[in-house]
Amino acid sequence: MSDAMRMELAPFNIRVVVVAPGGIQSNLAEHQQVELPENSPFMPAIQAIRDRAVFSQAGNATPTDVFARVVASRILASNPPPYITYGNHARTTWLLHYAPAVLRDWIYSRRFGTAQLRQKSCPFTGKSSHSSCPARAHASGISCPFSSPFMWCTLGVAFVAAHFYTHPELVQRFRAFFF
């Protein structure tokens, strides 16, 4: 949506910048208490939900004042970038932005506990009946290639490589960001 907004507002000299922060020090989760009713469908993931609430504060979260100075200077530049990623784990988030949505969802659902809430179904079709599996894997008793993390990681790497090949300016951004 922000990409469309940036293009639509550009003729009016209005710039749209997306800020995707990493882990930033804050007090948001310090006093937060997660309470769920006993019959909540999220109850199996309650510990993961609690862990997620404080995840960005663990380790070396970026100090708020440093984050504010860096982001403000980039936004107020004469030609601000369309995306700004800064903070702890921001590079990982930026890199995942170029991966297929299915791969991002798979990674985040496992990291933040929502994977354990899923019902057993074919990961490709989403149907609970495995008879409709396009790979016919479930019917034959072999593991489904569509649920293989290796397969999705391979596809993700291929997608990012193809994206970089067709957009050479991204290679320059990548080098500037990581090196």
Q: What is the mean pLDDT of residues 161-173?
A: 71
pLDDT at 76: 95
pTM given for the model: 0.55
Residue located via tokens 């300016």: 169
Confirm if 96 and 107 have CB atoms less than 8 A apart: yes
Say if 32 falls within a structural domain.
yes
Tell me if 126 is assigned to some domain.
Answer: no
Amino acid at 100: P
Q: What is the mean pLDDT of the chain?
A: 76
Query: What are the tens digits of pLDDT across the range 78-131?
Result: 999 998 888 887 877 777 777 888 888 888 787 777 777 765 555 555 555 555
Flag whether 136 is in a domain.
Answer: no
Please check the confidence at residue 20 and state whether its pLDDT lies above 70.
yes
- Domain contains 174: no
Number of structural domains found in the chain: 1
Chain-centroid distance of CA 63 in Å reads 22
Q: Which residue has the higher pLDDT, 20 or 58?
A: 20
Residue 35 counted as domain residue = yes
Instruction: Provide the token pair at 127.
Output: 């149907």
Is 162 buried (19+), middle (13-18) or exposed (0-12) by CB count in 10 A?
Answer: exposed
Residue with the larger pLDDT of the pair 72 and 29? 72
| 103 is a domain residue | no
Beta bridge partners of 88: 23
Rounded CA separation 33/53 (Å): 9
Task: Please tell me the predicted confidence (pLDDT) of residue 141.
Answer: 55
Give the per-residue pLDDT at 149: 67
**What is the percent of the chain with per-residue pLDDT over 90, rounded to a whole number?**
15
What pLDDT does 25 receive?
84
Q: Is residue 135 part of a domain?
A: no
pLDDT reported for residue 12:
95
In a domain, 44, yes or no: yes
Structure tokens of 31? Answer: 């006093």
- Structural domain including 61 reads 1-88
